[in-house]
Chain A
């Protein structure tokens, strides 16, 4: 048995969700690290600035010199980043260090009086610095005094990691939730398929009626196709049944009559009467054989309507073929063709259409009055294949019963021909129309079909 299983839907969904989460995780990690770094930098930059401001505020001028009474609060503020090393420096207008460490890097030259944040080394570790300038204009001292305060980055990194870690934890929780929901959704989405499978398994093998289970829109086409498939099976099965039924019904009487007449002929002594009997037997045999032809035709046509591939067909070709087929029949020479100059195209099975049209034209030949016209007409979105005679047409009572399978009122099974024409018209999405001809003289039988490309 061939391997018909492919990747399960659940693993496809799992793969898709996993890929989304992985990609999302990378993006979120990157964003969270960037954001965390930014947030930590801002938070601890403020700390640095606060300490620098404290120190700057503690500068006083005594006897013409700037003196820093270093405030403990500045150091306590810096100690809020408890694991970080500190470096600070206060320089006078001449750039000489007043107090603090000479090792603190000088800030990049920048215009404006605001504080300047910059990165610089703090011993072997990277550090972050702020430089703040306080300007003095005293009698004994004037010029800028610059305060530089720096710190290593441990607390910043720890905070950034905390923020990123928090974001990742949220993402992980969301991922678990998404995975869970995806699993549940897949399960619930596949449940109708299981229901359908169970319904099919439970069915009687001969039950070909459509399945009417409520299905989600995504699965409905599958059910529709399945029902269509079963419908075709059903029609073919009933066509076979009908053939058998028709044969039983319609053949039994004529065959019995032929048998009785044959027996009569066998017993008849008088040659003249015997010859008359034989003639009648022959006549009946011909009628029987015609009836048989029609029944087989119809079964074939019904089979074709479900199975034959549909192609674009020019109805003018169909009419020509019908004409050629009827030419040799008695009275066939009386048929006139009535074709438009442009192609009239329908989508359908040419053979079925030829057969249906042949039946209509043959009926007109058999029952109508000449002249008989066989023609094609395009009327808006519809195409018409018609057979028209000049007679009054059948009576209304006969017209009502026409097209039914057993309406074999006419010798030679004309009713069967109309039934075939109706089946073909319907299977092509059209209809069989019987009625007075267009010019109100005569009777017209027509297949009205949807035109292609109209």
Chain B
């Protein structure tokens, strides 16, 4: 019976992916450009757009066709391209780094080495084929108007304490990603489960207090701003901080016990038609100018706290950062049984997925 449930869940997870098509496309650069770089990414066009403009300003004669994809759809597409040996994208950047590790593990990437890639820390480079180009913490977002300063949770333990009383005002008003619909949500939850035993308690607490699992960063942050949710857990810090710059209702916290740090992974597909231009873009993203552009876009978040007006830091910087390393160990997040077991555990905590209109 459980086996049947596994199969159903696995099928669901797999079905969700290819069903979606690309979300948005946009072209950057002059139309008369001689070279065309096809970039597929899970990042919103509006977020990465300025970075691409900055690159093109230094590299005239190149045009970039940007395709924005959902992570599962992108994974499915790249796997299919790789299996068929089809020259699809020239560069792929995805936040679902476990899927990127799998693509590299399947031999779908092309190696590239430069002084800039070689300078990356070991956790952010694998086989010279996959590079972590951004730095985005997983944060908690709260509503400044509705959560008293004394109640603001600075760590997962604080959150557990808030949810414990049976009459807690936070019951039913804590939100997090629905891992079945958000690849990123799954990755964060999975990394949490690997990282600490706190996660088990948190899941149980979420289940008892009727926490909400929903989709997508924007929706969650909107919900917190509007007061539907008081606290959102494991929200991608880059989006949250960009929103919090203009919305004073939002408070952003890097948890004090530990903060997961995601680096979106970039790879050049083996069959890429423009590997040189793709490599130049990777080098640009890793160069000081590229870092500055990414930082302006909110994709590189300083945890050192110099401009920490928006981000509230809980503890010592060195101990709280837990980068999600680009290693084959991430493949475990794609294991069919592991996903099914993890999904079943998740479903115990969030038994009734809120019905959502397609």
Contacts and interface: CB of A to CB of B under 8 A. Distances in A.
B-side interface mostly: helix
B2 A65 contact: yes
Given A67-B341, A70-B338, A86 B328 contact: yes
Given A65-B2, A85-B105, A75 B328 contact: yes
Contacts of A122: 107
A63 B107 contact: no
A238 interface: no
B107 A86 contact: no
Given A62-B2, A63-B2, A70 B335 contact: yes
A82 B337 contact: no
Contacts of B107: 85, 122-125
A192 interface: no
Interface in B307-358: 327-329, 331-332, 335-338, 341
Interface in A49-68: 62-65, 67-68
Given A63-B2, A63-B3, A86 B331 contact: yes
B2 A99 contact: no
B148 interface: no
B84 interface: no
Nearest to B5: A63
Given A63-B3, A83-B127, A86-B105, A70 B122 contact: no
Contact of B3 (A65, A75, A123, A124): A65
Contact of A123 (B106, B337, B338): B106
Given A86-B328, A86-B331, A70 B337 contact: yes
A72 B338 CA distance: 10
Interface residues of A, number: 27
Nearest to A68: B337
Interface residues of B, number: 22
A82 B2 contact: no
B328 A63 contact: no
Contacts of B329: 72, 75-76, 78-79
Interface string A431-449: 0000000000000000000
B328 A85 contact: yes
Given A62-B2, A65-B2, A83-B127, A99 B336 contact: yes
A4 to B, nearest CB: 62
Contact of A72 (B6, B332, B337): B332
Contacts of B196: none
A-B pairs, top 5 by smallest CB distance, nearest first, are A123-B107, A75-B329, A65-B3, A99-B337, A70-B338
25 contacts: A62-B2, A64-B3, A65-B2, A67-B2, A67-B3, A67-B337, A67-B341, A68-B335, A68-B338, A70-B337, A72-B194, A78-B328, A79-B327, A82-B126, A82-B327, A83-B127, A85-B127, A86-B105, A86-B328, A87-B105, A98-B337, A99-B336, A100-B336, A122-B107, A123-B107
Given A64-B3, A79-B328, A123-B107, 9 more contacts: A63-B2, A63-B3, A67-B6, A69-B341, A75-B331, A75-B332, A84-B328, A86-B105, A123-B106
